[in-house]
Amino acid sequence: MPRQQRRAAGRAAEKQAQRKKGSAPSGPALFPVTIRAEDLTDRQQRGVLLAEKAQRSNGLVIIIKDDETLWMGRANRAWVVRRAVRNRRGTVGVEYTCQCGDYAKNSRLDCLHIIAERIRRGELVVEGKIAKKRAESADAVRRPARQRVTATGRTMRSAQRDARVALPARIPELLQDLKRIVDREMPPTDPRDTHINSRAAALVWKIASGKSADEMIAVYGGLIEAGVLRLKSVPHQNTLSRWMCDPRLTPVLEKVLAVTARVFRAMEVAAMVDSSKMSQMRSAHSRWVEYGDDERTAADWMKMHAMVGVETMVCMAVIFSGSAGEGTHDVNFLLPLLEKVRGLFTLRYLLADKAYLSEETVGRLWETGIQAVIPVKRRWDGVNMKRFYEAYQHLVRWYDDRQAEFHEVYRLRVKIESFFSSVKRVTSGFCWSRGRKRIRKNGAIIDNAVDPCTAWKNETLCKVIYVNLRRIVEYEIATGYAMNFLADTFFPAIPDSEKLVA
């Protein structure tokens, strides 16, 4: 008999003998893996606790086949765990699959059902006992109820209503303070730019008032008489459009945005980064855009990359880019945004989605002392990272081994979507400025999708400034503290209920 046939006959006889003895399921002889209780990850802890519950209750585990097990969950939900013996290039091993969402998202790691199944089959042995505090943290617990009363004693809903009532009177006062501080910190250097700060303030005033150019004539007249706007005369309606297209106003508006955010510098320890499209008009489509009777093909889009505080939802900095073309990916704008807020905020965490995961991003944040809170993609382990290996290793271990702690911080990232929704709901989600294509000196046309026009940038900056001012008024009503832009040593009171404790 040939050698291969003798080996096959021996394996068949061994399997038949095991079946007669009633031994474990057919497969290779596996030695159990031993893990100490203090070395368990959060996911492994949940699996151990599930296995302990299955030993006390017979209704959690239903054995369908020799290699299929049904694990019951809450609300009559169930997940099938399958076991298969694989021979990969001469190495025989056991592989498990599960139908739960955790395994579908992180298939490189065993979910709690697979870990519980390994323990049930004796392939995984845990030495020691899990500490009571760690066992409580591994189980999902109900969060405390939302705060419904402000520091002044009124309910949150009444405070928000009072803030909306106070907006028409309080925002002009804040705008006057902003105008004074910008004149002090950013005086015009060119004699021809004497009225740049006043022009920028006039545009913010128009967006904050929500009035048309005709209705703003009386408002501008009163501001000029009061000495707030240093303009010779009331600007014409078409003059406002020309100011919106002036690139010299962009750095002034960025300075105003930074001033509205820096009053919260003592409260913010974490920031969120994301991007959102600002459409050209309400009727804009990817193939055409309509201006009343004027219809044009190939509508252009502008992307707004924003960094927003976790505690106060105030916008710290923004950068604009096109929505198509080389260099417009979101990951290219995270570090420039961080550079804009450096010196204003002392951040410990930076929250972003998977689009911002790169070796350069995680490494640079690690060098500046900021922890990147970015989910790890599938089949990313940090081993192949050469330049910033330590930073990636720390992020991967945090995400894999201490998921409860990671998601306690990352769960707040979705708040930036509320910020974008607020910008588009309060100030409309489109740019009224038409923003025609620009032509360089050599005759080349600059597409708005590659480099957005100045009018779109200035208009969106005014809208973000207005949203920040609304946040300030809401905070004043809720806490009873009046914001002071003119005093550099002013720090508002930190609320008792912080969302993220440093």
Does residue 7 lie within any of the structural domains?
no
pLDDT exceeding 70 applies to what percent of the chain? Answer: 77
Among candidate residues 137, 164, 188, the one where a domain is terminated: 137
Residue 389 within any structural domain of the chain: yes
Radius of gyration of the chain (CA): 30
Confidence class for position 26, pLDDT limits 50, 70, 90: very low
pLDDT of residue 214: 87
pLDDT at 138 (0 to 100)? 57
| pLDDT one-digit tens code per residue, 394-405 | 888 888 878 778
What pLDDT shows up at residue 337?
A: 94
Longest CA–CA separation in the chain, Å? 111
So what's the pLDDT on residue 4?
59
pLDDT, mean over the chain: 81
Tokens of 335: 């570090």
Query: What pLDDT is stored for residue 393 in this prediction?
Result: 84
Higher-pLDDT residue of 364 and 10 is 364
Higher pLDDT pick, 453 / 318: 318
Q: Which residue has the higher pLDDT, 343 or 372?
A: 372
- Flag whether 5 is in a domain: no
Res 466: pLDDT? 93
Distance CA 175, CA 220 (A): 13
Residues 37 and 77 placed together within one structural domain of the fold: yes
Given this model, what pLDDT does residue 481 score? 83
Q: What is the pLDDT of residue 440?
A: 62
CA 264 to CA 495: how far, in whole Å? Answer: 12
Statement to judge: residues 174 and 120 lie in one domain: no
* pLDDT exceeds 70 at position 475: yes
Tell me: pLDDT of 198 over 80: yes
* Bridge partner residues of 35 (DSSP): 126
pLDDT given at position 242: 87
Q: Is 266 left (phi over 0), alpha (psi -120 to 50) or beta?
A: alpha
- Whether 80 and 213 map to the same domain: the answer is no
> Is residue 8 included in any domain, yes or no?
no
Provide the domain count of the chain: 2
Pull the structure tokens for residue 463. Answer: 């809208």
Q: Rounded to two decimals, what is the model's pTM?
A: 0.73
> Is residue 334 assigned to a domain?
yes
**Residue 45 in this model has a pLDDT that exceeds 90:** no
Give the pLDDT mean for 330-359.
Answer: 91
Going by pLDDT thresholds of 50, 70 and 90, the confidence category of residue 59 is confident
Task: Give residue 131's domain range.
Answer: 25-137
- DSSP code string of 346-411: --SEEE--GGG--HHHHHHHHHTT-EEE-PPPTT--STT--TTHHHHHHHHHHHHH-HHHHHHHHG
Which tops the pLDDT comparison, 9 or 207? 207
Any idea which of 226-230, 315-319, 364-368, 443-447 has the lowest mean pLDDT? 443-447
> Is 492 a domain residue?
no
- The reported pLDDT for the residue numbered 10 is 64
Q: Which of 29-38, 46-55, 129-138, 302-311 has the lowest mean pLDDT?
A: 129-138
- The pLDDT assigned to 486 comes to 79
Q: Which of 80, 106, 137 is the last residue of a domain?
A: 137
Considering 107, 137, 167, which residue would you say is the last residue of a domain?
137
Same structural domain, 269 and 418: yes
Contact predicate 338/350, CB 8 Å? yes
pLDDT at 502: 42
Answer whether residue 344 is part of any domain. Answer: yes
| The pLDDT of residue 290 | 62
Q: What is the DSSP letter of 64?
A: -
What pLDDT score does 22 carry? 42
| pLDDT value of residue 327 | 79
Mode of pairing for the β-strands spanning 270-278 and 349-351:
parallel
Instruction: Tell me the two tokens of residue 185.
Output: 């910190």
The pLDDT tens digits for 244-280 are 888 899 999 999 999 999 888 888 889 999 999 886 6
- Spatial contact of 306 and 275, defined as CB atoms under 8 Å apart: yes
Pick left, alpha or beta for residue 457 (phi over 0 → left; psi -120 to 50 → alpha; otherwise beta). Answer: alpha
Round to the nearest angstrom and report the end-to-end CA distance of the chain.
Answer: 73
Closest CA to 257 of 219, 203, 213: 203
Whether residues 308 and 361 fall in one domain: yes
DSSP codes joined into one string, 172-185: HHHHHHHHHHHHHH
> Mean pLDDT: which of 6-10, 445-449, 462-466 is highest?
462-466
| Structural domain includes residue 366 | yes
Helix (H/G/I), strand (E/B), else coil: 156: helix
* Strands of the 315-322 sheet, one edge to the other: 315-322, 302-309, 270-278, 349-351, 371-373
pLDDT for residue 29? 44
More confident residue, 29 or 389: 389
